[in-house]
Amino acid sequence: MTIDQIAILLIIVMTFLLFIWGRLRYDIVSIIALGTLFIVDQVLGGQTSSLIMDGSNLFIGFAHPAVITVALVLIISRALQNAGVVELISRQIAPFSKHQVTHITSLSGVAAILSAIMNNVGALALMLPVALKSSVKRKRSPSILLMPLAFASILGGMITMIGTPPNIIISTFRKIQLIDLKARALEDVSSPAAQYFESQNINVVQFQPEAFTMLDFSPVGGSLTLLGVLFIALIGWRLIPKKSHKKPGTESLFSINEYITEIRIPEKSKFIGLKVREIENFTEDRLTIFGFISEDENVYTPSQGHIIQEGDRFQIMADPVDLKVMMDEYGLRFTKLMRERIDSLKDNQTAFKEVLIKPDSPLENRDRDYLRKRTSNTLVLMAVARQGEPIHKRLGNVSFRVGDVLLLQGNVSNLDDNISLLDLLPLAEREVTIGVFSKVGLALLIFGSAIALNMFGVLPITLAFVGAVLAYVFTGILPLREIYRQIDWPIIVLLGAMIPVSNALQTTGSTQLIADAMVSMTNSLPIWVVLILIMIITMTLSDIINNAATALIMAPIAVEIAISLGVSIDPFLMSVAVGASCAFLTPIGHQCNALILAPGGYRFSDYWRMGLPLELLIIILGTPLILYFWPL
């Protein structure tokens, strides 16, 4: 083993450990890995090291077709949403929600189909409010709907090349790998690469390497998705522990009335003489004043410099657990008209909304102070819930996580704008704009044309999607301001930074080293067992680290194993694609799993109960399907 091989393997191990640790976001981990790669390369001698082909190309991964395609898919997903495609489909499935099994089947089926043509996280985000609304209407626990919905979204990503980042990575990797193999075979006719082409009866000179096309994933991915959705709808949801089922029939996670009350300042109250802005510090962040009640009974936003006097009346926000204690501690009293006015709050200019923190929200790992700064103090954070339960602690000390549900209060005129700015997901059903369906046909025509141009070899997928994005802009379906907002920049940084690390695995010969070790350990086993092992390893990694990073690391290893065995690389790449797309055991394994954690009221341990049988089903059925459609 050379010093370069030891170095890159240590970098990979370090990267995996940082991913598993979870304290740093995956894009930061990937940048650390890339920076470490460069530093180690320079220490080992720069030009004499095989870690990086050329230091000036350190960031060439950001120009990789897979990275650009992922970004374009995210933009197109937004355009399809704007055109009303999802809302139209959602309304069509409403009649199927009458019976529980058909309810789960229809929601899961639509989510899977949408995930095939758009990013699967985006598909889930669009279907989540629909599922919650229908659970209220049918008086069913959201717990039995949301996990099937999330798992179906993940499964649906396997159907096409653009459904999930691992498929895009595997598609482009195939072409690049075959180009490299061809070059190696032409350079040395006795090399393993040349033997590979000979075993496949391929004329190396005439061979033209190609990437997987849009629908190459469909035979295997589509079959597994269909079987997976059937399993989820008929059996899987029954495996969710009943103790995790949230009480049905309630649309809101919070009871707003519990967090809002009206107080008056009696004689000898400890608030007298304090300014409004000092109250939060004075109460140790347990009480927030957000409304001043005038003598004519109107409610106004109070001046932060207002000095509190005896007889003042305020609308306040406080956790119900702390409220009774604070009333006695600070000498406060309820107002006489409190309940009547609170009940009429929604009829005024004040609005309350429950929103979900999405994976790409700027609020992730931030706190209430950041929320206030980004919204210019126009929103009040009323409460936070995690895993379906309100957090009874100082709101100022809460660091927001993906999947948290926030109860926000603000003015009707700017609440929706701020929710959009922070890329949050409202949990109430969103109304469809009148006349928006007139663009559904146009949006689908543009998307279908881009797919057709690629399938018939007129344009590569990247250029076809660029044309689709431009068409959406020119037709007004996609406003210019939304183009860059829809790109999940952390995943783009992850891909761009990890591609050179993946390349270093190959240039140092480390993939060959790992492949030889695996081949020697499985020497007496059938090849289909090796395929299963690759799928299991890939699944396991995807359950604890980002699936795109898993694909980047496992794809070159799988290819080298195939070459060592003298069989086609295609079934091995498909095995990695399937394994990387199937992360069902934990809420951290996939962004879709994290999104449903709070609205579904799930525990960390609930996922494997349905996820493990589903992964076993995919392994058992996926391997013969891969070998049938992609022979060795």
- Per-residue pLDDT tens digits for 20-63: 777 787 788 889 998 898 888 888 876 666 677 666 677 888 88
- 589 close to 543: Cβ distance less than 8 angstroms: yes
> Could you tell me the two tokens for 39?
């530093």
Cα separation values, 412 from 252, 303, 409, 531, Å: 18, 20, 9, 56
Q: Determine the distance from the C-alpha atom of residue 308 to the mean position of all C-alpha atoms in its chain, rounded to a whole number.
A: 46
pLDDT by 10-residue block (mean), the chain, 632 residues = 85 86 82 89 73 72 85 84 72 76 90 87 81 80 89 94 90 88 85 83 84 91 95 91 61 64 87 90 84 80 89 83 80 71 54 82 87 84 75 74 83 79 73 48 88 85 90 88 78 86 83 83 85 92 84 90 88 95 83 81 84 94 94 86
Query: Residue 578 has which token pair?
Result: 């399937």
Task: Count the Cβ atoms, other than its own, within 10 Å of residue 41.
Answer: 24
Instruction: Tell me how far apart the alpha carbons of residues 515 and 572 are, in angstroms, rounded to a whole number.
Output: 12
Tokens of 417: 């704008």
Region of 250 please: left (phi>0), alpha (psi -120 to 50) or beta.
Answer: beta
**Helix 143-156 / helix 120-137 crossing angle, nearest 10 deg:** 160
What digits encode the pLDDT tens for the residues 9-19? 898 889 888 88
Q: Which two tokens stand for residue 172?
A: 């482009």
**Helix (H), strand (E), coil (C) string for 352-386:** EEEEEECCCCCCCCCCHHHHHHHCCCCEEEEEEEE
Beta partners for residue 440, in sequence order: none
pLDDT of residue 46: 67
Q: What is the pLDDT of residues 235-289, one digit of tens each?
A: 998 998 776 555 664 556 666 666 777 888 998 899 999 998 899 888 887 888 8
> Torsion over CA of 485, 116, 628 and 533, rounded to 10 degrees?
50
Q: CA–CA separation, 131 vs 100, rounded Å? A: 12
- Report all structural domains of the chain as residue ranges with CATH numbers, in order of start: 65-84+439-487 (no CATH), 252-338 (3.30.70.1450), 349-427 (3.30.70.1450)
Q: Report the distance separating Cα 178 and Cα 538, nearest Å.
A: 22
Is residue 337 a contact partner of residue 296, using CB atoms and an 8 Å limit? no
Closest CA to 503 of 128, 180, 252, 130: 180
CA atoms within 13 A on the CB side of 537: 17
Q: Are 422 and 361 in contact (CB under 8 A)?
A: yes
Measured CA distances, 30 to 491, 495, 498 (Å):
10, 8, 6
Tokens of 315: 């609308």
pLDDT at position 433 is 40
* Sequence letter at residue 397: N
295-298: long-range contacts at Cβ-Cβ below 8 A with a sequence spacing of 24 or more?
297/337, 297/341
Q: What is the pLDDT at residue 383?
A: 80
| Residue whose token pair is 């406060």 | 332
Residue 231 · residue 614 · CB < 8 Å = yes
Q: How far is residue 534's CA from residue 556's CA, in Å, rounded to a whole number?
A: 12
